[in-house]
Amino acid sequence: MKVYVIGLGLIGGSLALDIQEEFKDSTIYGIDINENHIKEALELGIIHKEGALDSLNEADVIIISVPVDVSLDLTKKVLDTISENTLVIDVGSTKVDICKSIEDHPNRRNFLAAHPIAGTEFSGPKAALKNLYRGKTNIICEVEKTAFKLQERALSIFSKIGMRIRYMDPKSHDKHIAYVSHLSHISSFMLGKTVIEKEKNERDIFDMAGSGFASTVRLAKSSPAMWTPIFKQNKTNVIETLEEYILNLQQFKELMQQDNFEEIYKEMENTNHIKQILNGILLDA
C-alpha cells in the first residue's frame, strides 16, 4: 500500500507512524512545504521516502493533514490528479468548508472527510507520537458520498490504528467541536494573556503558579498557524460558544458582587458533574 501524507506535523506524522506499524507492506511518502520537516520525518522514521505532488496518481491512500485553510485548495488539486482507485482523506478540525469546497468535484467519491480527535499542544514532525489514536474517536462526515470500496479501505486503516468511528454531518460536527475543542483553546489562550499582561510589571507572579494553572493554560501553547484558520472557518459557532462562556463568567462575577456565595457554591457543585464526563473521556483515551 502506497500512502502519501501531505503535512508532516503532529497529526499526519502520528498517522504515518501507526500506519507503517499496522500495515507492514506499506510505503509512506511524505510531502511538506517545509524542507526541514521532510528531513526530520525521514530521520525519525515517520516516512520512508519524500513524495512529490505530481506522483499522487500512484497512491493508494493520500492523507491531507495541513492547516484547514490550506486544505481547501490543496484537496481540490489533489483530487484533480489522482487515479480512480485512490482514497483521499482530509483530517482537519473543521468539516463544513472542506466538504463544501469539493462537493461538485468529479472525484468526490474518492474523498473521505474525517476528524481524528487526538493531539497535544505541540506541532511539527517531532511532536508525532506512536499510538496517539488508540481508543480515540474519529468523526467521519458524509460517509455516503465516498465510494464503498474506499470507505472500506479507510475503515480498515482507522480500525487497525485503534480508533472508534462516529458518523456525523459536517454542520453538527463543526457546531459540537466548537464547544468541546475550539472554546477550550480560546479560554486557555485568554487566560494566558490575562496573566501575562499582569506579569509584565510583576515578574514574581509566576513563582506562585502551580500545576493547576499549568493544566488550564496548556492549550495556549498551541500553534497560531493551525488555529487561526480553524477559528476563521468555524467563526459563527465559535462566536456562539464564546458568547455563552462570557455570559457565564459575567453571571459568576455578578453573583460575587452580590455576595451570593450560596449560589456560587451551587454553580460549582453542579459543574462538578464534569467528573463523570471526564472519567468517560479518560477511560476511552
Range 221-240, binding a second copy (CB under 8 A): 221-222, 224-225, 227-229, 231-232, 235, 238-239
Q: Does 199 bind a second copy (CB under 8 A)?
A: yes
CB of 70 to a second copy, least distance (A): 14
Q: Does 283 bind a second copy (CB under 8 A)?
A: no
Name the residue nearer to a second copy (CB basis): 42 or 213.
213
22 phi and psi angles, rounded to 5 deg: -90, -25
Q: Does 130 bind a second copy (CB under 8 A)?
A: no
Residue from 76, 192, 201, 283 touching a second copy (CB under 8 A): that is 192
Number of Cβ within a 10 Å radius of residue 45: 12
Supply the DSSP string of 175-235, one letter for each residue.
HHHIIIIIHHHHHHHHHHHHHHHHHTT-GGGGGG--HHHHHHTGGGGS-HHHHHHHHHHTH
Query: CB of 222 within 8 A of CB of 192?
Result: no
- The tally of CA atoms less than 13 A away on the side-chain side of residue 17 is 22
Name the residue nearer to a second copy (CB basis): 62 or 140.
140
Q: Does 186 bind a second copy (CB under 8 A)?
A: yes
Q: Does 220 bind a second copy (CB under 8 A)?
A: yes
Q: Does 277 bind a second copy (CB under 8 A)?
A: yes
Name the residue nearer to a second copy (CB basis): 33 or 249.
249
Q: Does 139 bind a second copy (CB under 8 A)?
A: yes
Query: All 3 cell numbers of residue 61?
Result: 491512500
Q: Does 216 bind a second copy (CB under 8 A)?
A: yes
Site residues for a second copy, 45-84, by CB under 8 A, read none
Q: Does 106 bind a second copy (CB under 8 A)?
A: no
Query: All 3 cell numbers of residue 51?
Result: 513524495
Residue from 13, 119, 125, 170 touching a second copy (CB under 8 A): that is 119
Residue from 136, 141, 157, 170 touching a second copy (CB under 8 A): that is 136
Q: Which residues contact 200 (CB under 8 A, 6 or more apart)?
A: none
Handedness of CA 76, 78, 83, 86 (dihedral sign): negative
Q: Does 131 bind a second copy (CB under 8 A)?
A: no
Q: Does 184 bind a second copy (CB under 8 A)?
A: yes
Residue from 84, 144, 214, 283 touching a second copy (CB under 8 A): that is 214
Q: Does 201 bind a second copy (CB under 8 A)?
A: no
Q: How far is CA 209 from CA 92, 193, 218, in A?
A: 34, 14, 13
Residue from 1, 129, 155, 242 touching a second copy (CB under 8 A): that is 242
Show the beta-strand stretches assigned E in 32-180.
49-50, 61-64, 87-90, 111-116, 137-141, 164-168
